[in-house]
Amino acid sequence: MRTARTSGGTTGDDRTDVLPPGCRIGGWVVTRLIGSGGWSTVYAARPAGRRPGRAATLPGHGDVALKIMPTAGLSPRQVRRIVESARREVELGRRAGHSRLIGFQEWFVLASPERPSLEGAIVLVMERAAGSLRDLIEAGVPEADRGRLIAGICEGLAHLHRSGWVHSDLKPENVLLGRDRSVKLSDFGLATELTGTHGYAPPMGTLDYFPPERWKAPLGELGVRVRPTADIWALGVIIHEVFAPGVPLFAGATPVARGAAVQEYGEGRAALRVDHAVPAFWRALATDCLAPTHRARAPHTAESLLARITAHREARVAGAGRRCGRARTAVLATALCGVAGATLCSDGVRAAPAAPAGLVRVYNAERGCREPVDLDLRCSLGLAVDPLRPYTAENVVPTRVWHGDVLTADCQVHGGDPVIDEEDRQSTRWFRIRLPAGSVPSTAWLPAVRTREVRALPECR
**Together in a domain, 120 and 141:** no
For 29-38, 203-212, 382-391, which range has the lowest pLDDT when averaged over its residues? 29-38
Count of domains forming the chain: 3
User: Is 379 found in the same domain as 419?
Assistant: yes
Whether 323 is in a domain gets the answer: no
**Inside any domain, residue 199:** yes
Residue 34's CATH number:
3.30.200.20
For residues 123 and 137, membership in a common domain is answered with no
pLDDT bin (cut points 50, 70, 90) of residue 16 is low
Range in 259-273, 308-322, 407-421 with the lowest mean pLDDT: 308-322
Do 407 and 382 belong together in one domain? Answer: yes
Instruction: Answer with the one of 107, 127, 147 that is the final residue of a domain.
Output: 127
Within a domain: residue 319?
no
pLDDT number for residue 374: 52
Does residue 118 sit in the same domain as residue 142?
no
| Mean pLDDT over the full length of the chain | 81
My answer on whether 100 and 136 are in the same domain is: no
Does 400 or 33 have the greater pLDDT score?
A: 33
Q: Are residues 75 and 163 in the same domain?
A: no
Identify the domain containing residue 388 by its residue range.
346-453
pLDDT tens track for 196-205: 788 887 778 8
Is 274 contained in some domain? yes
- pTM of the full predicted structure? 0.64
Q: What is the mean pLDDT of residues 154-163?
A: 92
67 labelled binding-site residue: yes
- Give pLDDT tens digits for 365-420: 887 787 654 566 677 888 999 999 888 878 888 888 888 888 888 899 988 888 88
Confidence band (pLDDT; 50, 70, 90) for 55? very low
Residue 295 lies in a domain: yes
Whether residue 337 is contained in a domain is answered as no
Say yes or no: 406 and 297 in one domain.
no
Whether residues 122 and 189 fall in one domain: no
Instruction: Check whether 254 has a pLDDT greater than 90.
Output: yes
Q: Is residue 340 part of a domain?
A: no
Would you say residue 335 lies in a domain? no
Residue ending a domain, among 67, 93, 127, is: 127
Same domain, 97 and 148: no
Residue-wise pLDDT for 85-136, tens only, equals 888 788 777 777 788 998 888 888 888 778 888 888 888 898 888 889 999 9
CATH number for position 294: 1.10.510.10
Three-state SS across the chain? CEECCCCCCECCCCCCECCCCCCEECCEEEEEEEEECCCCEEEEEEECCCCCCCCCCCCCCCCEEEEEECCCCCCHHHHHHHHHHHHHHHHHHHHCCCCCECCEEEEEECCCCCCHHHCCCEEEEEECCCEEHHHHHHHCCCHHHHHHHHHHHHHHHHHHHHCCEECCCCCHHHEEECCCCCEEECCCCCCEECECCEEEECCCCCHHHCCHHHHHCCCECCEEEECHHHHHHHHHHHHHHHHCCCCCCCCCCCHHHHHHHHHHHHCCCCCCCCCCCCCHHHHHHHHHHCCCCHHHHCCCCHHHHHHHHHHHHHHHHHHHHHHHHHHHHHHHHHHHHHHHCHHHCCCCCCCCCCCCCEEEEECCCCHHHCCCCCCCHHHCEEEECCCCCCCCHHHEEEEEECCCCEEEEEEEECCCCCEECCCCCEECCEEEEECCCCCCCCEEEEEHHHEEECCCCCECC
Do residues 168 and 267 both lie within one domain?
A: yes
Tell whether 278 and 151 lie within a shared domain. yes
